[in-house]
Protein backbone atom coordinates (compact mmCIF):
# COMPACT_ATOMS: atom_id res chain seq x y z
CA UNK A 1 0.00 0.00 0.00
CA UNK A 2 1.41 3.39 -1.05
CA UNK A 3 2.09 5.96 1.65
CA UNK A 4 0.59 9.41 1.09
CA UNK A 5 3.14 12.12 0.17
CA UNK A 6 2.19 14.30 3.14
CA UNK A 7 2.95 11.43 5.52
CA UNK A 8 6.31 10.77 3.87
CA UNK A 9 7.42 14.40 4.13
CA UNK A 10 6.05 14.72 7.67
CA UNK A 11 8.09 11.68 8.72
CA UNK A 12 11.13 13.18 7.00
CA UNK A 13 10.62 16.38 8.99
CA UNK A 14 10.35 14.29 12.17
CA UNK A 15 13.59 12.45 11.41
CA UNK A 16 15.59 15.59 10.58
CA UNK A 17 14.43 17.49 13.65
CA UNK A 18 14.90 14.48 15.94
CA UNK A 19 18.50 13.99 14.78
CA UNK A 20 19.22 17.72 15.11
CA UNK A 21 18.03 17.75 18.73
CA UNK A 22 20.11 14.66 19.44
CA UNK A 23 23.22 16.32 18.01
CA UNK A 24 22.75 19.21 20.43
CA UNK A 25 23.27 16.72 23.26
CA UNK A 26 25.80 14.39 21.62
CA UNK A 27 27.97 17.32 20.48
CA UNK A 28 28.55 18.56 24.01
CA UNK A 29 31.79 16.55 24.04
CA UNK A 30 33.31 19.45 22.08
CA UNK A 31 32.29 22.04 24.69
CA UNK A 32 30.23 23.99 22.17
CA UNK A 33 30.34 27.76 22.66
CA UNK A 34 27.08 29.65 22.38
CA UNK A 35 28.32 32.57 20.27
CA UNK A 36 30.06 30.66 17.46
CA UNK A 37 27.48 27.85 17.51
CA UNK A 38 24.48 30.16 17.04
CA UNK A 39 26.20 32.16 14.31
CA UNK A 40 27.36 29.11 12.34
CA UNK A 41 23.99 27.38 12.68
CA UNK A 42 22.23 30.44 11.28
CA UNK A 43 24.74 30.78 8.43
CA UNK A 44 23.66 27.29 7.34
CA UNK A 45 19.96 28.00 7.88
CA UNK A 46 19.75 31.39 6.13
CA UNK A 47 20.53 30.23 2.54
CA UNK A 48 17.97 27.44 2.83
CA UNK A 49 15.29 29.87 4.00
CA UNK A 50 16.14 32.26 1.17
CA UNK A 51 15.98 29.50 -1.45
CA UNK A 52 12.59 28.31 -0.16
CA UNK A 53 11.18 31.83 -0.22
CA UNK A 54 12.50 32.44 -3.73
CA UNK A 55 11.17 29.16 -5.13
CA UNK A 56 7.73 29.88 -3.66
CA UNK A 57 7.72 33.37 -5.16
CA UNK A 58 7.34 35.09 -1.77
CA UNK A 59 10.23 37.56 -1.87
CA UNK A 60 7.86 40.46 -1.23
CA UNK A 61 7.96 42.67 1.87
CA UNK A 62 4.74 43.18 3.82
CA UNK A 63 4.27 44.85 7.21
CA UNK A 64 3.22 41.62 9.06
CA UNK A 65 6.71 40.25 8.30
CA UNK A 66 7.92 42.40 11.21
CA UNK A 67 6.68 39.53 13.36
CA UNK A 68 9.23 37.36 11.53
CA UNK A 69 12.06 39.64 12.64
CA UNK A 70 10.70 39.49 16.22
CA UNK A 71 10.63 35.72 15.93
CA UNK A 72 14.32 35.87 15.04
CA UNK A 73 15.10 37.21 18.51
CA UNK A 74 12.90 34.55 20.10
CA UNK A 75 14.46 31.79 17.97
CA UNK A 76 17.96 32.88 18.94
CA UNK A 77 17.05 32.76 22.63
CA UNK A 78 15.17 29.47 22.27
CA UNK A 79 17.99 27.60 20.53
CA UNK A 80 20.60 29.12 22.83
CA UNK A 81 18.58 27.91 25.83
CA UNK A 82 18.37 24.48 24.18
CA UNK A 83 22.13 24.34 23.69
CA UNK A 84 22.75 25.36 27.30
CA UNK A 85 20.16 22.90 28.62
CA UNK A 86 21.85 19.95 26.91
CA UNK A 87 25.23 20.74 28.46
CA UNK A 88 24.17 18.88 31.60
CA UNK A 89 20.64 17.63 31.04
CA UNK A 90 19.62 14.43 29.26
CA UNK A 91 18.03 14.51 25.81
CA UNK A 92 15.56 11.81 26.84
CA UNK A 93 14.08 14.10 29.49
CA UNK A 94 14.47 17.55 27.95
CA UNK A 95 13.55 17.01 24.28
CA UNK A 96 9.85 16.29 25.04
CA UNK A 97 9.64 19.50 27.09
CA UNK A 98 11.12 21.63 24.31
CA UNK A 99 8.97 20.07 21.59
CA UNK A 100 5.78 20.67 23.59
CA UNK A 101 6.09 24.31 22.50
CA UNK A 102 2.96 23.90 20.38
CA UNK A 103 1.01 23.67 23.65
CA UNK A 104 2.27 27.15 24.58
CA UNK A 105 1.14 28.39 21.15
CA UNK A 106 -2.28 26.79 21.62
CA UNK A 107 -2.71 28.24 25.11
CA UNK A 108 -1.88 31.74 23.82
CA UNK A 109 -4.18 31.52 20.81
CA UNK A 110 -7.04 30.29 22.98
CA UNK A 111 -6.48 32.94 25.65
CA UNK A 112 -5.58 35.98 23.53
CA UNK A 113 -7.06 35.27 20.11
CA UNK A 114 -10.26 33.64 21.30
CA UNK A 115 -9.76 30.34 19.50
CA UNK A 116 -12.29 27.66 20.30
CA UNK A 117 -11.34 25.23 23.08
CA UNK A 118 -13.01 21.85 23.38
CA UNK A 119 -12.54 18.83 25.61
CA UNK A 120 -9.79 17.35 23.44
CA UNK A 121 -7.74 20.57 23.40
CA UNK A 122 -8.20 21.05 27.15
CA UNK A 123 -7.12 17.45 27.79
CA UNK A 124 -4.11 17.88 25.51
CA UNK A 125 -3.01 21.02 27.38
CA UNK A 126 -3.41 19.17 30.68
CA UNK A 127 -1.28 16.27 29.43
CA UNK A 128 1.37 18.70 28.20
CA UNK A 129 1.50 20.25 31.67
CA UNK A 130 1.75 16.80 33.25
CA UNK A 131 4.62 15.91 30.90
CA UNK A 132 6.55 18.99 31.99
CA UNK A 133 5.83 18.27 35.67
CA UNK A 134 6.95 14.64 35.29
CA UNK A 135 10.21 15.64 33.63
CA UNK A 136 10.78 18.37 36.21
CA UNK A 137 10.36 15.80 38.95
CA UNK A 138 12.87 13.49 37.27
CA UNK A 139 15.60 16.16 37.37
CA UNK A 140 18.17 15.35 39.99
CA UNK A 141 18.78 17.44 43.10
CA UNK A 142 21.91 19.01 41.62
CA UNK A 143 21.82 22.62 40.52
CA UNK A 144 22.93 21.65 37.03
CA UNK A 145 19.99 19.29 36.53
CA UNK A 146 17.44 21.84 37.72
CA UNK A 147 19.03 24.57 35.63
CA UNK A 148 18.87 22.35 32.53
CA UNK A 149 15.18 21.71 33.12
CA UNK A 150 14.32 25.40 33.45
CA UNK A 151 16.40 26.23 30.38
CA UNK A 152 14.36 23.62 28.47
CA UNK A 153 11.17 25.26 29.75
CA UNK A 154 12.56 28.60 28.57
CA UNK A 155 13.26 27.14 25.10
CA UNK A 156 9.73 25.70 25.01
CA UNK A 157 8.29 29.11 25.86
CA UNK A 158 10.36 30.98 23.26
CA UNK A 159 9.46 28.50 20.50
CA UNK A 160 5.82 28.58 21.58
CA UNK A 161 5.79 32.37 21.25
CA UNK A 162 7.23 32.00 17.75
CA UNK A 163 4.24 29.86 16.77
CA UNK A 164 1.86 32.43 18.28
CA UNK A 165 3.38 35.38 16.40
CA UNK A 166 3.62 33.25 13.26
CA UNK A 167 -0.14 32.67 13.44
CA UNK A 168 -0.84 36.38 13.94
CA UNK A 169 1.34 37.29 10.96
CA UNK A 170 -0.25 34.66 8.71
CA UNK A 171 -3.72 35.86 9.71
CA UNK A 172 -2.69 39.36 8.57
CA UNK A 173 -1.43 38.21 5.18
CA UNK A 174 2.24 37.30 5.72
CA UNK A 175 3.58 34.57 3.43
CA UNK A 176 4.84 31.45 5.30
CA UNK A 177 8.23 31.12 3.58
CA UNK A 178 8.84 34.88 3.83
CA UNK A 179 8.20 34.62 7.58
CA UNK A 180 10.86 31.91 7.81
CA UNK A 181 13.32 34.07 5.89
CA UNK A 182 12.66 37.13 8.07
CA UNK A 183 13.09 34.97 11.15
CA UNK A 184 16.50 33.76 9.95
CA UNK A 185 17.51 37.36 9.19
CA UNK A 186 16.42 38.36 12.68
CA UNK A 187 18.53 35.57 14.17
CA UNK A 188 21.56 36.71 12.19
CA UNK A 189 21.35 40.31 13.44
CA UNK A 190 21.29 39.00 17.02
CA UNK A 191 23.79 36.13 16.62
CA UNK A 192 26.51 38.27 15.00
CA UNK A 193 26.83 40.93 17.75
CA UNK A 194 26.41 38.21 20.40
CA UNK A 195 29.35 36.26 18.94
CA UNK A 196 31.45 39.44 18.80
CA UNK A 197 30.53 40.40 22.36
CA UNK A 198 31.43 36.93 23.63
CA UNK A 199 34.88 37.26 22.04
CA UNK A 200 34.91 33.60 21.15
CA UNK A 201 36.77 32.87 17.89
CA UNK A 202 35.05 30.77 15.25
CA UNK A 203 36.31 27.17 15.28
CA UNK A 204 38.63 26.17 12.47
CA UNK A 205 37.81 22.49 12.44
CA UNK A 206 36.44 19.53 14.34
CA UNK A 207 32.98 19.06 15.77
CA UNK A 208 32.74 22.66 16.96
CA UNK A 209 32.74 23.70 13.30
CA UNK A 210 30.75 21.07 11.46
CA UNK A 211 28.13 20.28 14.10
CA UNK A 212 26.38 23.70 14.16
CA UNK A 213 26.45 23.76 10.36
CA UNK A 214 24.84 20.31 10.24
CA UNK A 215 22.24 21.31 12.86
CA UNK A 216 21.40 24.43 10.85
CA UNK A 217 20.92 22.42 7.65
CA UNK A 218 18.90 19.71 9.43
CA UNK A 219 16.58 22.24 11.06
CA UNK A 220 16.09 24.17 7.82
CA UNK A 221 15.43 21.00 5.82
CA UNK A 222 12.99 19.86 8.51
CA UNK A 223 10.91 23.00 8.13
CA UNK A 224 11.09 22.74 4.33
CA UNK A 225 9.88 19.13 4.50
CA UNK A 226 7.04 20.19 6.79
CA UNK A 227 6.07 22.99 4.38
CA UNK A 228 6.02 20.51 1.48
CA UNK A 229 3.92 18.10 3.54
CA UNK A 230 1.38 20.87 4.18
CA UNK A 231 1.04 21.45 0.44
CA UNK A 232 -0.13 17.83 0.08
CA UNK A 233 -2.22 17.43 3.24
CA UNK A 234 -3.82 19.21 6.17
CA UNK A 235 -1.65 20.87 8.80
CA UNK A 236 -3.61 19.15 11.58
CA UNK A 237 -2.39 15.82 10.19
CA UNK A 238 1.24 16.51 9.35
CA UNK A 239 2.27 18.98 12.11
CA UNK A 240 1.71 16.54 15.02
CA UNK A 241 3.78 13.90 13.21
CA UNK A 242 6.72 16.32 12.98
CA UNK A 243 6.26 17.29 16.64
CA UNK A 244 6.87 13.67 17.66
CA UNK A 245 10.55 14.16 16.82
CA UNK A 246 11.35 13.94 20.53
CA UNK A 247 10.58 10.21 20.41
CA UNK A 248 13.44 9.69 17.94
CA UNK A 249 15.70 11.98 19.98
CA UNK A 250 15.00 9.98 23.11
CA UNK A 251 15.54 6.65 21.34
CA UNK A 252 18.92 7.80 20.02
CA UNK A 253 19.87 9.03 23.50
CA UNK A 254 19.06 5.65 25.04
CA UNK A 255 20.82 3.58 22.36
CA UNK A 256 23.90 5.74 21.72
CA UNK A 257 24.39 7.77 24.90
CA UNK A 258 23.10 5.04 27.21
CA UNK A 259 20.73 7.41 28.98
CA UNK A 260 18.56 5.62 31.53
CA UNK A 261 14.79 5.48 31.08
CA UNK A 262 13.29 6.03 34.53
CA UNK A 263 9.59 5.82 35.39
CA UNK A 264 9.20 9.62 35.57
CA UNK A 265 10.94 10.11 32.23
CA UNK A 266 8.78 7.41 30.66
CA UNK A 267 5.67 9.14 32.02
CA UNK A 268 6.88 12.45 30.66
CA UNK A 269 7.37 10.98 27.18
CA UNK A 270 4.02 9.16 27.32
CA UNK A 271 2.13 12.31 28.42
CA UNK A 272 3.84 14.30 25.66
CA UNK A 273 2.93 11.74 22.97
CA UNK A 274 -0.70 11.65 24.13
CA UNK A 275 -0.81 15.45 24.16
CA UNK A 276 0.34 15.59 20.52
CA UNK A 277 -2.15 12.93 19.46
CA UNK A 278 -5.04 14.70 21.21
CA UNK A 279 -4.14 18.00 19.54
CA UNK A 280 -4.18 16.16 16.21
CA UNK A 281 -7.62 14.79 17.04
CA UNK A 282 -8.85 18.22 18.08
Whether 193 and 38 have beta carbons less than 8 Å apart is answered as no
* Number of separate domains in the chain: 1
Task: Write down the pLDDT at residue 139.
Answer: 58
Q: Taking 60 as the threshold, does the pLDDT of residue 262 lie above it?
A: yes
Q: Write the CA distances from 72 to 20, 138, 161, 257, 277, integer angstroms.
A: 19, 32, 11, 31, 29
61-70, 98-107, 271-280: least confidently modelled range: 271-280
pLDDT tens string 176-193: 888 889 999 999 999 999
Q: What is the 3-state secondary structure (H, E, C) of 252-276?
A: HHHHHCCCCCCHHHHHHHHHHHHHH
Domain extent at residue 124: 5-281
Query: Which pLDDT belongs to residue 30?
Result: 83
Q: What is the DSSP string of 182-240?
A: HHHHHHHHHHHHHHHHHT-PPP-SSHHHHHHHHHHHHHHHHHHHHHHHHHHS-HHHHHH
Under the banding of pLDDT at 50, 70 and 90, the label for residue 144 is low
Amino acid sequence: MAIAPEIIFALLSLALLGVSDFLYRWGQRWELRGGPFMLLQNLAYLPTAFALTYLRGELVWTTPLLFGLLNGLLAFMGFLFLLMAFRRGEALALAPVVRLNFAVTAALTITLLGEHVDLLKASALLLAALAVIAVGGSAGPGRGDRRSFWLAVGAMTMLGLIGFFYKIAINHGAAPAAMTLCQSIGVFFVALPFAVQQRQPLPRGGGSLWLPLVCGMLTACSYVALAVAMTHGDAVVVAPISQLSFVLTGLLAVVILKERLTLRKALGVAFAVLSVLLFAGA
